[in-house]
Amino acid sequence: MTVILPIPGYSSAEIPQDEEQRLEELYDMEILDTSSDERFDRYTELAAQILNVPIALISLVDRDRQWFKSARGLTVKETPRNVSFCAHALNEPQGWLLVRDASADPRFAGNPLVAGDPAVRFYAGAVIHGPSGQPLGTCCVIDLQPRTLSSSEVFALQQIAKLIEQELQTRALLNDLRSKIQSHALYDMETGLPNQALFFTRLHALLKPPLPRDYVLALALIRLDHFDTAHAALGSAGAAFLISETASRLRDILGHNVQLGRIREDKIAATFPVSTAELAETMMGRLLQAMEEPFVVANHSIPVRVTIGAAVCPDDATDAQALLKRARTALYAEPASDRSSVRSYNPKLSDRAARRFEIESALRKALAAGEFQLVYQPKITTRGHSYVGAEALLRWNHSTLGEISPLEFVPIAESSGLSAELGNWVNRAACRQIALWRDQELDCLEISVNVTSMQIRQPGFCEQVRQILDETGLEGRHLNIEITEGSLIDDIDTAITLMQRLRNWGVSLSIDDFGTGFSSLSY
């Protein structure tokens, strides 16, 4: 509560009823106690010249003082609020105050600024309002002799005050834009979490030497697996909600000492101090447990599978860049699992990561280099042992790495976004082989090809199958598509729609790896 001491022979201005709202807007302007500004000085100079006065001010009325953003003819930067003429002007319903002779005015005769130095006699002030209309202060002129203003001079003072209002409003708008630009540069717009740049800056500060002897900092990279599927099903807002809720659960487990950041669309990074590396592993396990509870989005229960890559300082690295690299190595050293998991860094993972990177790089060139080939495994009935078709199996013989197992390169192709292109090549090559056998009058009822979940989710998958059949002149009955149970579960409704279209063209379907997913015949 503001307490203004009384002055004998002088009445201080009443405090406006909406004083707190007025002060809030004044403080939001972030203009108090700022340096001099030529733009505002021009207005006080203009007011002094037009109205022929020795003193002109832009006065902002604070809680206990009036502060001058610009002062012409006065050396002080502020005075107490209880002697401020401008504080009286704020209460004037017409928005301006005119005092012809302060020494003869009972409201001001005892004012120290009137009775003493500088012996103010004349005052005229036009109220300056903030962006929402709150009175912040005045543009005022002062003379040491009694006088008055003509109506045209009052109008001129009011117009100068309006120009200052526009200047303040422009300043507020620029500050708001500057704040938004800074926020956009440092924070993720969807979740409000620090972005990768800000997170890395904070991580670097946390690891700035010298580190305490008992200091252990854990870094966790939390990836929401199949985030693209969730994004497609829930939209941007729903996917952002999943990330935000993940961050909320991390705070609940790790407390306020956790530093969070959104590193990529599907990843959150978290750092938190612990006393030992063993305790860090325990906390990672608790994070995993926290993610087992399904999320509720738009009244739908959404199960979320996560993979956590973990590294600790100082055991794994002592600088920010190396620690982040170690956690990322742990995250990507192995293909995605069917269940949530924590992967802690160890030096052997670097060798696996190097191998994985080498294979991924080679994959991108292998199709163009003709390094892939299909081999065909006959399908024989258990009754009668008759031949009914063949399954196309993909093989890769690299020029320097040699034979690379599908168990190794297929998961890498999926996680790197190459499986759809590779799968299309397999489909086309298999259909061409059937057409070749048909032209050679060799009987082949059908060839089975494996299709990944990424291929199914690829836009235009069915159209590509139709195009390949048309190119090779095959009927749909010659092609059997094997779909893994897990790929069906990811988005069962979409899978059913695609499968129905394929069936309409005569393409047969089968479920591969049955029992590794939900193990339910209803799917």
pLDDT tens track, the chain, 523 positions: 444 444 556 778 888 888 999 999 999 888 999 998 899 999 999 999 999 999 999 999 999 999 999 999 999 999 999 999 999 999 999 999 999 999 999 889 999 999 888 899 999 999 999 988 899 999 999 999 999 999 999 999 999 999 999 998 888 888 878 777 776 778 888 778 888 889 999 999 888 888 877 889 999 998 888 777 777 777 788 888 888 888 888 888 888 788 899 888 888 899 988 888 888 888 888 888 888 888 887 777 777 888 899 999 998 888 999 999 889 888 887 766 667 888 888 877 767 777 777 888 888 888 888 889 999 898 888 877 777 788 999 999 888 888 988 888 888 887 777 888 888 889 999 989 988 888 887 766 788 898 877 777 777 888 888 998 898 888 888 888 888 765 555 566 777 888 888 889 998 888 775 544 444 455 4
- Beta-carbon contacts of residue 152 (< 8 Å; ≥ 6 apart): none
CA atoms within 13 A on the CB side of 431: 24
CA-based max dimension of the chain: 124
Residue 66: in which H helix or E strand, if any?
strand 65-72
Rounded distance between C-alpha atoms, residue 151 and residue 138, angstroms:
18
- Residue in this structure with the two tokens 């009694």, named with its chain if needed: 146
- CA-nearest of 354, 338, 412, 483 to 404 is 412
Rounded distance between C-alpha atoms, residue 176 and residue 222, angstroms:
33
Structural contact between residues 59 and 84, judged by C-beta atoms closer than 8 angstroms = yes
Chain mean position to CA 221: 16
* Entry pTM: 0.48
Helices vs strands, H then E, count in the chain: 16, 19
Task: Give, as one character, the DSSP assignment of residue 64.
Answer: S
Task: Give, as one character, the DSSP assignment of residue 402.
Answer: E
What are the Cα distances from residue 332, in Å, to 310, 450, 493? 11, 24, 30
Rounded distance between C-alpha atoms, residue 86 and residue 65, angstroms:
10
Q: Quickly count: other Cβ atoms within 10 Å of residue 510's Cβ.
A: 12
Give the sign of the dihedral formed by CA 180, CA 181, CA 187, CA 190: positive
